[in-house]
Amino acid sequence: MSDKELLFSVTEADCDWQYERGTGAGGQKRNKTSSKVRCTHRASGAVGVSDETRSQHQNKPRAFVKMTETKEFKGWHKFETAKRMGQVRDMEAEVENQMKPSKIRLEGKKDGKWAPLEECLIDE
């Protein structure tokens, strides 16, 4: 028995799908059929594209998997999970902590090298 609980699922209904003609090797069939698949997850904006095969039916799940591997989807997934587990405040507090002025270093170019911003603003 698993301790894990299903918080939410992402299905093909959560995505917009586009079908285009593939390019490259594959012959006349590839050039005349819409086998290239683009999967766009509406909530995160993540996009996955597949045109590895000449079959739209084979490329569709591949595009979906590629979409789930993007940094946009992974960031959305992390936030959505935290939200559903009631941990958004913890995430917001951590972001606020990381944005404190003591943790931010501002730099600029001085003599072609990066230096603290204060040094770059001083007129010589």
CA distance 72 to 80: 12
Q: Is the Cβ–Cβ distance between 33 and 54 less than 8 Å?
A: yes
- CB environment 64-98: b (16+ within 10 A), e (fewer): bebbeebeebeebbeebeeeeeeeeeeeeeeeeee
Domains of the chain by start residue, with CATH: 12-86 (3.30.160.20)
pLDDT digits (tens, 9 = 90+) for 5-31: 778 889 999 999 999 886 665 555 555
What pLDDT, on the 0 to 100 scale, is given for residue 95?
76
Q: Is the Cβ–Cβ distance between 46 and 40 less than 8 Å?
A: yes
Does the predicted model carry a pTM greater than 0.95? no
CA distance 28 to 31: 5
